[in-house]
Structure 1
């Protein structure tokens, strides 16, 4: 039986990763800011981190924050993992971090480099946006009568449970370096996805496509965050919406 530490183990991805690993018979420790016995804020470190990684075979690093701090958090985790003799570090990243000059993406790419240069056995999986994230975006944008969307942008959302299953599989295996991306089954215009959300949520909103400026928007518009050649996901956005809004 393998002992595995999942950082961000109570989050959108970390929770199903933890559940899958436990179902497969692994001993799993959950590291998050408020969950005992391994309540650790990786942005601050502390003695609890050393206790969390002691005796661990593999670390699955799911903890992340768009508000910043991912790089120093990863550096602390890597140092603790090296000291503890962890054999395998698995990191979840985002498709397009090397193509889209978006601040959060740059931070994820920097963490990828830290992982690859850590001296540990490592695996990095990049995935496209989760269905959950799109719904959060659409919920925020639909709070006003007119729903603005960035013009000419598509997305390829993927089911988080499928990504969790793939991460658990990778965590149970040997270090594999950079593995194939994992993307959802469909590349869809953002407007199409937004209208599907509005229908499922029972909302009526005017949808307006707004051209934006900047290098990041141009990269998104060019599809830098998409991976149609790696459409391994099966669950569609409509299937996710049906579960979320109709039970």
Structure 2
């Protein structure tokens, strides 16, 4: 990857003052990862392959942090998109026009650019809308051509999210009813006994009912005696 350098304009004055250097505030890009072989150079560039650098002074460089998306929100949204859609990492990479390596970076917690964050949320919203309740069914719908020959996955790659919603329709998956909080009596009944109550129970005398016991007598069968 070629390094882009800033042009420095040298300006002078008509009064014979010494030449002063003005530094143009133009962003430059420096490579972060080492150069790869020709077999992998055709892969799309990930968000972390480049860092945007702003040269503000002649003594040093100031780095500007471009990725702003929340890492936890990104990881959660990406995992949900993969679970609902049933698509492979290769197919998901085509949706973002990035390499699988970029998706693994995002899944491991690295932030992404706002443009990719917006695309991720739109894709997740579309898959939630068409969700049939099964990842295998959703994947089959996304990969199967419609009556007019269009494949929903290709439409998602092109960014036609509303067209996919109209083409497939709502999944109408049953929503989970929110759990109601327990009452105070129910919470109290589920609480474990206090330690002092358990200790006192060990010293309680065992109650035994005193009464007359019946003696057991052996009774011979008359039928058996008659047969003999």
Q: Considering the TM-score relative to the shorter chain, is it more than 0.5? A: no
TM-score (norm 1): 0.21
TM-score (norm 2): 0.22
- RCO higher in 1 or 2 (8 Å CA, sep ≥ 6)? 1
More strand by share: 1
Is the radius of gyration larger for structure 1 or structure 2? Answer: 2
